[in-house]
Amino acid sequence: MLFACGMNSVRSPMAAGLFKHYFSRTYVGSAGVRKGDLDPFAVAAMEEIGLDIAKHKPMTFEELEEWEGLNFDLIVTLSPQAHHRALELTRTLAADVEYWPTADPTAIEGSREQRMNAYRDVRDQLLQRIRTRFFPHRSGNE
């Protein structure tokens, strides 16, 4: 399972952390079209629910391919740029690609609490998408 977004600094690390929580035996990676720095608001939002992504090292698709290979059955893209890049990869990879449009919380301005709320919203949306996609028989409140 590979989660991908624009900079591998917010959405894809959050999604990978959530997925790892439920599927610890499944290999999960995350990558970005470009490489940014891990966002401290993303780390804080995940810590609020007991998940630690602080050691995540952002990387690009190319870096991931160089270090670990791109042996994924499913690539979930969270931004338009990542979706286009993943579709390019599937010309040479046998992987399914799903697009889960996910807002970029870094665009939100305001107080610390307003910004944190944007990250919480993204975290909760990703969690709901994971539950719906991989646990369709369960209710959203579990």
Query: Helix (H, G, I), strand (E, B), or coil: what is residue 96?
Result: strand
Instruction: Report pLDDT digits (tens) over 4-63.
Output: 999 999 999 999 999 999 999 999 999 999 999 999 999 999 999 999 999 999 999 999
**pLDDT over 60 at 139, yes or no:** no
CB neighbourhood size of 5 (10 A): 30
Strand intervals (E) in the chain: 2-5, 29-32, 74-77, 96-99
Q: What is the pLDDT of residues 102-135, one digit of tens each?
A: 999 999 999 999 999 999 999 999 999 999 999 8
Q: 3-state SS of the chain: helix, strand, coil percent to 5?
A: 45, 10, 45
89 or 60, greater pLDDT? 60
pLDDT attached to residue 113 = 97
What is the rounded distance in angstroms from the CA atom of residue 115 to the CA atom of residue 56? 21
Answer whether residue 87 shows pLDDT above 90.
Answer: yes
